[in-house]
C-alpha cells in the first residue's frame, strides 16, 4: 500500500490514531508530565520537566520533518493565525491549564494512571468547553477569531530567511536554553 | 525483569526526543501532526448525536469537525491505555481524587478540588478550540513545523498559566 492510499483509508487511520495515542500516553506517563505536581511546578517555575520534554520534542521533530520533507515523505500542515484567536484563546487556555493542573493531552494520560480529578474535572470540563465553543463558533468565526491576522504563517516567511537557516538558528537557541537550565540546576 | 520499561520515570530528554520522532512518524503514516484537543470536539459531538439526533451534524462547527470515531478521536483512548500500561509496568497506578500538592495547599476536600478543576477543564477546552490547538497540537507539533500561530499560542498558554498558578497558590494556606 502506498502512503497516499494509507492516508485515505479511514479505518486504518482510526487504528493508527489509537496506536500513536498509546505510544504518546506511554511516553507522557514515563516523562512524569501526567503528574499534577510536575505541571504546576512548571507553571510556578520550580520544575522545568515540561519545558525540557517540549523543547527536546520540538528540536527532534523540527530536524526530522526538515529531512522527511526533502525526501518527499511528509508535508507541513500550518494554519494561519491571528491575535484574536491565538492570543485570546491562548490566555483562556492558560487560566484553565493552571486551575486544572493538566493540559488536554496529559489530562487523559492522568486518567490512565488513576487521577480521578483529571477524569471528573478535566475530561468532563474539556468536553463541556468544546460544547461551549461549538455554540459560540458561528459568531466568533466571523468576528474576533479574524481580528489581527498574522501576515506570515511560518517563521521563515516572517523573518524572510530560508528554512535551513531558521532550523539551524532555532536548534542552537533550544540547545542553549536546555544546557542553561541544567547549568542553573533547574 | 522489565528493566527500562519498569522505571518510574525516564529522562525528560529521552521522552522529548521520542515524542519528536512520534510526531514525525504521525506526519508520514497519517499525514497529520499529533494533537489532542480536536478529540474533545469529536467526543462532544458524538455524545450530542446520541442525545439530540443526527441533526447536530448540520451545526456549523460540526460540519468542519464531524463527530466520527476517527484518528483524532481514537488518539484519546489510546493515551489513556498507554499511560495505564506505563503506570502498571512501573507499579505507580493508583486511583486518587486529590493530588498531594493540592492537598498540602488546600486540604483534602474533594468537592473543592473538583469545583476548581471543572471550571479549569471548561476554560482549557474553550481556550484550546479558540486558539486552534493545545500544548501538543501547537506546543509541540505546530512549533516544530515553525508555525507563527503555534509560537504565539504557546507563549500565551504559559503566560496565562504562570500568572494564574502563582495567583492560585498564593490563596492556599
How does pLDDT run across A94-128, given as a tens digit for each residue?
999 999 999 999 999 999 999 999 999 999 999 99
Which of B144, B48, B58 is CA-nearest to residue A61?
Answer: B144
Query: Distance from B83 to chain A by nearest Cα, in Å?
Result: 5
Minimum CA–CA partner of A154 in chain B = B147
Minimum CA–CA partner of B85 in chain A = A26
Q: What is the mean pLDDT of residues B66-85?
A: 97
Q: What is the mean pLDDT of residues A22-41?
A: 98
Q: Which residues are bridge partners to B96 per DSSP? A: A115
Q: Which residues in B lie closer than 8 A to residue A109 (C-beta atoms)?
A: 79-80, 82-83
- Chain A with chain B: Cβ pairs closer than 8 A: 513
| CA gap B89, A50 in Å, rounded | 22
| pLDDT surpasses 80 at B116 | yes
Which of A104, A111, A121, A28 is CA-nearest to residue B93?
Answer: A111
Q: Which residues in B lie closer than 8 A to residue A155 (C-beta atoms)?
A: 146-148, 151
Query: Distance from B66 to chain A by nearest Cα, in Å?
Result: 12
| CA gap A152, B23 in Å, rounded | 23
Model pLDDT, residue A48: 98
> In the block, which residue shows the cell 522505571?
B7
- The per-residue pLDDT for range B138-165, each reduced to its tens digit, is 999 999 999 999 999 999 999 999 999 9
Model pLDDT, residue B102: 97
Q: Does the beta-carbon distance from A27 to B82 stay under 8 Å?
A: yes
Amino acid at each position: 500500500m502506498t502512503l497516499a492510499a494509507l492516508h485515505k483509508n479511514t479505518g486504518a487511520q482510526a487504528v493508527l490514531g489509537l496506536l500513536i495515542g498509546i505510544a504518546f500516553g506511554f511516553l507522557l506517563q514515563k516523562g512524569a508530565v501526567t503528574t499534577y505536581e510536575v505541571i504546576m511546578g512548571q507553571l510556578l517555575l520550580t520544575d522545568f520537566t515540561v519545558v525540557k520534554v517540549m523543547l527536546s520534542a520540538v528540536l527532534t521533530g523540527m530536524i526530522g520533518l526538515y529531512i522527511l520533507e526533502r525526501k518527499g515523505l511528509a508535508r507541513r500542515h500550518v494554519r494561519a493565525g491571528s491575535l484574536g484567536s491565538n492570543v485570546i484563546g491562548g490566555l483562556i487556555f492558560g487560566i484553565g491549564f493552571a486551575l486544572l493542573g493538566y493540559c488536554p493531552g496529559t489530562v487523559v494520560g492522568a486518567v490512565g494512571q488513576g487521577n480521578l480529578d483529571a477524569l471528573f474535572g478535566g475530561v468532563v470540563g474539556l468536553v463541556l468547553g468544546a460544547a461551549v465553543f461549538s455554540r459560540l463558533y458561528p459568531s466568533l468565526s466571523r468576528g474576533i477569531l479574524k481580528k489581527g491576522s498574522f501576515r506570515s504563517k511560518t517563521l521563515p516567511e516572517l523573518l524572510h530567511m530560508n528554512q535551513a537557516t531558521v532550523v539551524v538558528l532555532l536548534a542552537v537557541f533550544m540547545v542553549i536554553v536546555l544546557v542553561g537550565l541544567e547549568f542553573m540546576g533547574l | 525483569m522489565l528493566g527500562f520499561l519498569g522505571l518510574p520515570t525516564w529522562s525528560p530528554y529521552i521522552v522529548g526526543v521520542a515524542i519528536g520522532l512520534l510526531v514525525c512518524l504521525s506526519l508520514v503514516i497519517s499525514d497529520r501532526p499529533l494533537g489532542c484537543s480536536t478529540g474533545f470536539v469529536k467526543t462532544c459531538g458524538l455524545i450530542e448525536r446520541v442525545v439530540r439526533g443526527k441533526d447536530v451534524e448540520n451545526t456549523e462547527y460540526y460540519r468542519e469537525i464531524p463527530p466520527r470515531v476517527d484518528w483524532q478521536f481514537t488518539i484519546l483512548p489510546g493515551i489513556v491505555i498507554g499511560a495505564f500500561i506505563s503506570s502498571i509496568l512501573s507499579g505507580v497506578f493508583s486511583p486518587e481524587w486529590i493530588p498531594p500538592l493540592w492537598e498540602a495547599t488546600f486540604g483534602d476536600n474533594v468537592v473543592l478540588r473538583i469545583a476548581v478543576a471543572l471550571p479549569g477543564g471548561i476554560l482549557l477546552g474553550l481556550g484550546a478550540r479558540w486558539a486552534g490547538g493545545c500544548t501538543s497540537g501547537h506546543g509541540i507539533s505546530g512549533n516544530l513545523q515553525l508555525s507563527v500561530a503555534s509560537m504565539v499560542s504557546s507563549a500565551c498558554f504559559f503566560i496565562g498559566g504562570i500568572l494564574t498558578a502563582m495567583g492560585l497558590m498564593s490563596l492556599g494556606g
